[in-house]
Amino acid sequence: MAEVSYNGFCEKLINCDVDIKSFDFFNYRSSDQFLFDIDFSSIIPKKYVILRHDIDHDPLTALEMARIEHKHGIQSTYFVLTSGDSPTLNEWWTELGVTKYVDIMKEMQDLGHEVGMHYDLLGDYFYNNLLPAENLENKLSFFEKYNIKIKGCASHGSSRMRRLLGCVKKPYPHAFMNYNIWKETHTFQREKWQKTQGKYPVPPMLFLNNKVLVTPLLSLKDYNLEYEAYFVNKKIYFSDSGGIFWRMNESAQYNFNVEESLASPLSMYDIIKEKIQPDIIQVLAHPWWWKDKV
């Protein structure tokens, strides 16, 4: 999908006169606009790009990207998808595959990158009958066992949930976004939504596949998770989901009321250059779309 190699992508980002950092570089505080706002008092106020990767089912390409970034002095965050129904992903979580995956995660950390958790707790519950609290504890215990430091997480847009919900080619229902399982994000969204648009569209109970789940259910704080990526400060957000870069309208902060405009990688660089400092820009690059460009 990319017009340039990943090495070229990194060079172009650097030439935008930005500091490229991982999520764990920043200290967070809550504000009216963001649940996890940047505490600029603890850093030099300037233009930052938070570079994020949802590994999904391609850890090998992710590792090559991490090595390329390290050569350029870039720190980024790699979110590890902990479950799903992709045969390729499941191979990485077999007894043989997981040993290699842990080695990949450890090398990423050694290169100065952050490893985060990409979670599908709702998919695990409605699809595989895994209770969220116990499931989350098991996942975090796994990372702890292998000294993989998890400070934050990012909600997964689950393909298996899309099939259960009958929305494979339709907008993903906001009520079933994985981040609605957290008390912090649920409360923040509800209060913000009610101030501007009235009744909050997430019901207290979710019904699907002959199961029911009361939300919110868990607390980020209880599991020492410092942030949820979708609720971190951003002036603008770029993603290559679907194989082409698109950007979120600056006035939209969440997956509802989003205006997506197609933007090639080249125009993305131009937009980043124009932003007034200090600013936070998030860029999401999925390894799967760069597998032929590393």
- When divided into structural domains, the chain yields a total of 1
- pLDDT at 89 > cutoff 50: yes
The pLDDT, as a whole number, for residue 264 is 52
Q: Do the Cβ atoms of 179 and 155 come closer than 8 Å? A: yes
Tens-place pLDDT, residues 207-244? 999 999 999 999 999 999 999 999 999 988 888 877 66
Of 53-62, 160-169, 249-258, 283-292, the one with minimum mean pLDDT is 249-258
Please report, for the domain that includes residue 82, its CATH number: 3.20.20
pLDDT, position 136: 98
**Residue 290 confidence (pLDDT):** 93
What is the model's pLDDT at position 196? 77
pLDDT digits (tens, 9 = 90+) for 132-142: 999 999 999 99
- Asked whether the predicted pLDDT for residue 254 surpasses 90, the reply is no
User: pLDDT of 60-87, one tens digit each?
Assistant: 999 999 999 999 999 999 999 999 888 8
Residue 1 in any domain: the answer is no
Q: 251: pLDDT confidence band, cut at 50, 70 and 90?
A: very low
Q: What is the pLDDT of residues 92-107, one digit of tens each?
A: 888 889 999 999 999 9
97 in any annotated domain: yes
Assign 275 a pLDDT band (cuts: 50, 70, 90). confident
Nearest Cα to 12, choosing from 233, 231, 238?
A: 238
Residue 68 sits in which domain range? 6-290
pLDDT number for residue 236? 87
pLDDT beyond 70 at 193: yes
270 assigned to some structural domain: yes
Whether 237 is covered by a domain: the verdict is: yes
Q: Which of 2-11, 27-36, 268-277 has the highest mean pLDDT?
A: 27-36
pTM: 0.91
Residue 248 reports pLDDT greater than 70 = no
What pLDDT sits at residue 84?
Answer: 86
